[in-house]
Each structure stands twice: as C-alpha cells, then as structure tokens.
Structure 1
Amino acid sequence: MKSFITGASGYLGQRLAIKLAENGEKVHALIRNPKAVKTLEHPNIKFFFGDVLDNISIKTAMEGCETVFHVAALARVWTKNSDDFYKINVGGTSNVIRISQELNVSKFILTSSTGTIGPSLNLPNNEETPRWSSFNNDYEISKSLADTELLKHAANGFPGLIVMPSRIFGPGIASPSSGVNRIIIGFIKKGFAVIPKQSGVIGNYGFIEDIINGHILARDKGAIGEKYILGGENKTLGELFEAIKNRVNKNGLVLKIPVWPLSYYSLFSQFLADRFGIEPRITPDLVKRLGQNSAFDCSKAISQLGYRITPFEETIETTIRFLSQSEDR
C-alpha cells in the first residue's frame, strides 16, 4: 500500500511516516523544510517539497497513492496573522480533499483535535458530546471548520473520516504541539515547575505511539464519515506533575500559585504580541483552559478500531527517558 502524508515533517506526521515505512509500506511525504529530510530518511519514504496551499505540489505528491493522511495543520495558540489558521487549516484541508477526489483515493484520514469538542463537565466527552462552551482560540475554530468540510464531503460519498488526538506526548522531534514534552524538558533543565493552585483540573494525555497506531487502525477499520477520539488516560494536572517530578527530580519543586498572576502575565504577553509581534509565552485563552476539565472517552476507538491505550505510568517513563537522553546529547 502507498500512502500520502501531509505535515510529514511535524511531530505526529514524522512518526507516522516512519511507522508506515517500517511496516513495509511506501510513503509519499509532503514537507516544506528541506532540513526535515534527515529525520525522515528511509528507503520506503519519498520526499515531495511543498505545502497544502500549493495544489500542484499536493497533486504531484499524491499521484499513485491509495490512502491520504492529512496531518498538516497550523497547531499553535497564536500567530502574527490569525487568518493563517483559516488559510492552512480550512483552506488547506479543502485543497487536499479536492485533489483526493480527483485522484480517486480509497481512504482519507483527517487529523483533527479533541479541542474541537471542548471542555468536559461531569463525565468524559465522547465523539457525540455537543460543544457547550465557546471556542477558546482561532486554532480550535479552524479545526472545527475543517472537520465540517470533511464531513460534508463524506456525506456525499467521499471516503473520509476523522481522528481526534488528545494532548499528545512521547518520543519524537521537538514541536510546539506537545506541551507535555515541553513541561518535562523544562523540569529536566530547571528542576522546578509552576502550576495553578487548581491542580485538580483533568486532562487527557495520549501517547504518540498509541495515536500513530490509531491512525493506521482508522485507515484499516474506520467507517466513512465517523469520528474517533485517540487519547490516553485522564489525569489531573497535579497527577501529571507529580509523575514527572518523581521520575526526573524527586527533590524538585512544583510551585502552586493562584491563577490571577498567570492571568495578568498572559494579558501583558498578549499586549506585546499584538503591539510588537513577540510570540507570547502564555495567552489568556491558555489560562482559561487551565481551569477547564478536558476528560475524554476513547471507548469508540477501542471497540470499533481495536485501539489500545498504553498505561500512563509506562508512557511517562518512556517519554522522560527519551527526553533526558536527548538533553544529554
């Protein structure tokens, strides 16, 4: 089987491309940065330079492929021009869908995000949970619009479906899309971390290897027009940091502070971003999300795809070992 992957130079796309190649499959990898070739070197991977806004490069790279994994996205909470979220995440998705239709691909897997479902209340969210809160940022809005675009075409016979990773972490290249990895690296370097006092807030943490396997299972077993949450265990913020501290530096410090200093700092950071184009370290919407539960239920993927969740303790151990070795190099 031959697969086309957009965003193959990113954190998730790179690992997916390597996994498919190691399984003996041929991969056409669409990348923007020539430096990314080094992390994707494999005899089963062929490189194509371009991006999802360039129809010619998409079509050239997709020729001869049966499956499309559309992983590419602008996955940040801020960018100088907010229109970029819609150009890339919505317009880019439309481009890849249109060319997939022209080339008559057999399966199209769109990588979305649990962020499109929004925060959870008393029970973990599933694929059918209606969004009850407003969107936090342009990234979430744009990804939700991309989902809508895919489902519209799927309703008319296009062989597309959606996978929705939660907060991804694990071994891999450095990326702004893995906040958990950045937290671990920060603790390794500094020996301390600062978190809000409301450390009982719940999040869902998905191990990257599980999520990659989920993408492949979605291709092989997923139903057209369906959504599948690909995540891990639900843990409180306090549990996450305690697990990191116990494995990195038991004598390290996890400092719990009120939310209001973070709120003021985020407003100042946002002001600098808006006025001078300086990327903010923390944004007001991120502070808002720190107070929202984001628990998710992967039962649908488990029952319909055969998705498996690696135990949290094991995944944290593996991730810290990898990142510690990377920092030592």
Structure 2
Amino acid sequence: MRILVTGATGYLGGRLCRSLLSQGYSVRALVRPTSDLSSLPSSSSGSAVELVYGDVTDYRSLLDACSSVDVIFHAAALVEPWLPDPSRFFTVNVHGLKNVLQAAKETKTIEKIVYTSSFFALGPTDGYVADENQMHAEKFFCTEYERSKASADKIALQAASEGVPIVPVYPGVIYGPGKLTAGNVVAQLLIERFNWRLPGYIGYGNDKYSFSHVDDVVEGHIAAMKKGRAGERYLLTGENASFMHVFDMAAVITSTSKPRFCIPLGVIELYGWLSVLISRITGKLPLISPPTVNVLRHQWAYSCDKAKLELDYRPRSLREGLEEVLPWLKSLGLIKY
C-alpha cells in the first residue's frame, strides 16, 4: 500500500510518517522546497520516505504526488492563532482540501482519505461535553483559523455525501515531544512558565480543552485508515482540563511551586495587542495574540467515546503525557527544575 502524507514536515505529519514506516507502509511525503525536513526519518535510519516536492495550493504538483497512491493522509494545514494576512488560512486550509479532493477524484486509485480537521471545526462547548454530532453554529469565530477549519469541515462532509471515501478526524490540543511549532502550544506555554515569562495562571481556570498526546493522535489516524468508516467523523481528543490544571500538574510532577496568582484575560489581551504590534515590526509571529484570548474565553471539551469504540483509540491521561513532555523539555535545555 502506498500512502501520501501532506503536511509531512509538520509537528503531527512527521511523527505520522515515522509510525507508518515502522509499520511497513510505503510513504510518500509532499514537501515544499523550503520545508525543514528534520522531523522526517533520513535514509541513514534504514527507512526513508519518498519525497515529492510541491504544495497543496499547487494543484498540478499535488496531482503528480497522488500518482499510484492508495491512501492520502491530508494533514497539511496552516495552524496559527493569528497572521498578518488572514486570507492565507483559507488558501491553505480550505482550498488545499478542495485540491486534495479533486486530485483524489482524478487519480482514481485512492481508496481512502484521512483528513486531519480540528476540534475548532466543531465549535466551542461552553458548559457541556460535545461529540461528533456537533456542527459549528457559525455565530462567531474566535480566530480565522477556526473559521477556515469550519468551512473546510463542511466541504469534507459534502464530499463524503457524494461518495468520496473520506474520514475526517478531529484532534484536540495536540501536545508531546516533537517540533516546537505553533501547534505544540502546551510545550510553548510550559517553556514560558518555567522560564518565568509567564509567572501566573492564564485567567481563572474557566477555560477547558481536550488534550491529545501527539502519538495517540498518530495511532488514531492510522486506525482511521484501517477501521474508520467513510463519511464518519472521529474525535481524537483526550482528557478535558484547563491550563490552570496543566500548570498545577506540571508543578506536582517537577516538585516545583505552583503559580501564586492569576493573570486576568484582559491583561493578557493587552499583552496580545502589544505582541501583534511588535510582530508587524519584526515579522516574528507572537505566541499570544487577541484571537488567542478569544479562544481562552470559551470551553472546548469533547468526548472520544466513538473513536474508542470503533477505532480502539486509547488516549493516555494528561498526567502520563506531561510526565513525558517535561523531562523532554528539560533534556533540551529549554526548562529547568
């Protein structure tokens, strides 16, 4: 079986390629000429991915990459809370998916597409825990990323209704060892916390997220390829908790002190606006921006019972995950405790 992975050099995509190779699959990775390939296994490791150069926004290169492929893992996405040019979210996340769907139809060999969506595509869950039946209400969007993923979700579901063998999967807040990208926000915040650049809790613990270890999400993707039913949605989420709980648990694991005060979201929003201003000058994207604070004002709690039942998805607890992440960050010299 030959598999194409888009977004192969990203935080999730790189680990997905490694896992697929270790299970004996032939893996082709769609990469841009400027991509950092460090997350992909090299030929010296005994097995390597087949690299094809292109971009999901470039239809011709994508179509060439799909040649003789049986399965597509479409994991390519622009994952940022804020960009100076928000139209890029739709260029990559929406039109990129449209290109994948069209290429799959034209190739005619594709047996399944596993599409990496996001919990943001389902919308917030203020005061309750949602499952795969939730559709985004589209009354408001905290970020342009959320808006783009909700739009792409409708396209994926429409394609499924037309007989395209697509299986959308919805990870939670992905964390774990690996690339320190914007998608690895837990690691980024822990670095800020342990270096005292984030001296207190973010808000008052009213936020709630479903935390997913990256390796659990990878195995959930592969299980969706093997067992997932075309047109069915699967939440690859995990333990629902606040970032206050994450910081408290990190303190217990490292035998360090917990934060002693809470930083109001209004203060963090002001810092976010300042960070955006600095970003426009320096060109470096901010860790905290006003859209980030919009997200923090809501809850994003989900149940993965369907994936457990149908895919044998077994997410580890948040504590188990943090007991791996914290020593990893320490080994890199990024935090001390």
TM-score, structure 1 as length reference: 0.92
- Any conservation in 1 of the 2:2–2:71 contact (CA below 8 Å)? yes
**What is the deviation of 1:113?**
0.4
AA aligned opposite 1:121: D
Cα shift readout 1:211-252 (whole Å, capped 9, x = no counterpart): 000001111111111111101111122211111122345136
Q: Provide the residue aligned with 1:312 in structure 2.
A: 318
Say if 2:97 is the partner of 1:71: no
Q: Provide the residue aligned with 1:84 in structure 2.
A: 88
Cα shift readout 1:244-298 (whole Å, capped 9, x = no counterpart): 1223451364541222212222234445556886634422221122121111100
Q: Report the Cα distance in structure 1 between the residues aligned to 2:260 and 2:24, rounded to whole angstroms.
A: 44
- Any conservation in 1 of the 2:203–2:264 contact (CA below 8 Å)? yes
**What is the deviation of 1:185?**
2.3
Count of residues in correspondence between the two structures: 329
**What is the deviation of 1:50?**
1.5
AA aligned opposite 1:293: Q
**What is the deviation of 1:56?**
2.4
- Counterparts of residues 11-160 of structure 1 (less than 5 Å): 11-33=11-33, 36-40=36-40, 41-42=42-43, 43-104=47-108, 105-132=110-137, 133-160=139-166
Q: Secondary structure at the match of 1:36?
A: coil
Cα shift readout 1:40-89 (whole Å, capped 9, x = no counterpart): 12524111121111122212222121000000011111122111111111
Say if 2:309 is the partner of 1:303: yes
Change (3 A) 1:34 1:259: closer
Q: Secondary structure at the match of 1:163?
A: strand
TM-score, structure 2 as length reference: 0.90
**What is the deviation of 1:191?**
8.1
- Any conservation in 2 of the 1:192–1:255 contact (CA below 8 Å)? no
Q: Percent identity?
A: 29
Q: Report the Cα distance in structure 2 between the residues aligned to 1:237 and 1:28, rounded to whole angstroms.
A: 37
**What is the deviation of 1:3?**
0.6
Q: Provide the residue aligned with 2:257 in structure 1.
A: 251
- Any conservation in 1 of the 2:28–2:51 contact (CA below 8 Å)? yes
Change (3 A) 1:163 1:261: same
Q: Secondary structure at the match of 2:57?
A: coil
Displaced runs of 4+ in structure 1, greater than 6 A? none
Q: CA RMSD in A?
A: 2.2
User: Which deviates the most, 283-292 or 311-320?
Assistant: 283-292
Change (3 A) 1:166 1:109: same
> Please, which of 257, 264, 271 is the counterpart of residue 265 of structure 1?
271
Structure 2 spans left out of the alignment, 5+ residues: none
Q: Report the Cα distance in structure 1 between the residues aligned to 2:308 and 2:332, rounded to whole angstroms.
A: 32
> Please, which of 226, 230, 249 is the counterpart of residue 224 of structure 1?
230
Cα shift readout 1:5-46 (whole Å, capped 9, x = no counterpart): 001000000000010011111100011255633431252411
Q: Provide the residue aligned with 2:221 in structure 1.
A: 215
Q: Report the Cα distance in structure 2 between the residues aligned to 1:101 and 1:29, rounded to whole angstroms.
A: 19
Structure 1 spans left out of the alignment, 5+ residues: none
> Please, which of 307, 318, 321 is the counterpart of residue 327 of structure 2?
321
Q: Secondary structure at the match of 1:39?
A: coil
User: Which deviates the most, 207-216 or 58-67?
Assistant: 58-67
Q: Secondary structure at the match of 2:299?
A: coil
AA aligned opposite 1:80: P
Q: Secondary structure at the match of 1:51?
A: coil
Q: Report the Cα distance in structure 1 between the residues aligned to 2:60 and 2:72, rounded to whole angstroms.
A: 16
Q: Secondary structure at the match of 1:205?
A: strand
